[in-house]
Amino acid sequence: MKFLTLLAVMCWCFVHGQAMHLMRPRPKPLDSPVTWNDLYVMTEHAQKEDKDHETRLLPVFSEVMLNEEGTCCINTMILDYYLKHILHADDHEHVDKYPQIRFVRSDLHRVSQILKPYCRDSAEHAQVTKYKERFSTFGRNSLTLARNKAVGETIILFHYLFESCSARM
């Protein structure tokens, strides 16, 4: 009898643990072809202007890492940094340079708003700190070049969000 009770408790814990991940909704912009197209056009333009192809600001996440539980929150925290410090839709120079930025920023803001509540208990992860340091270090030479590189990498961040933030986790 004790074995059956223990088995029932273990099954309940497993199902409940899996169900917690299913409670996190999948933001619609992650599956929107319009969002992907706007991102592609914006990042392609930024990448053409980027002369430093050796430097990468975003961390590299393997497929295994993208499927780990905390990766969605890490990418959401980096996205929040992007929204606050890089993708300025109200900056006229930025809008002139990347016409799609208003649409992209709006969609990314929606993604962030949907995911942030599920990450509020997360302390800042080392990968987020590392990203901020890379951006800051790269930006010491030229903030314009650093922002352009980050804009060019936005599609990578969006791909990371697409892969790591599904409800199936």
- Scan for tokens 């990498």, then name that residue: 153
| Run of H or E including 24 | none
Domains and CATH numbers, the chain: 26-164 (1.20.1250.10)
Transcribe 115-166 into DSSP letters.
HGGGTTTPPPPHHHHHHHHHHHHHHHH-HHHHHHHHHHTHHHHHHHHHHH--
* pLDDT on residue 9: 46
pLDDT at 131 over 90: yes
Say how far apart CA 76 and CA 113 lie, in whole Å.
9
Burial (CB count <10 Å: 0-12, 13-18, 19+), residue 65: middle
Residue 98 pLDDT class (50, 70, 90 cuts):
confident
Task: List Cβ neighbours of 128 (8 Å cut-off, separation of 6 or more).
Answer: 74, 77, 78, 81
The pTM of the full predicted model, rounded to 2 decimals, is 0.80
Confidence of residue 97 (pLDDT cuts 50, 70, 90): confident
Q: What is the pLDDT of residues 60-91, one digit of tens each?
A: 988 998 888 889 999 999 999 999 998 875 66
Q: Are 138 and 146 in contact (CB under 8 A)?
A: yes
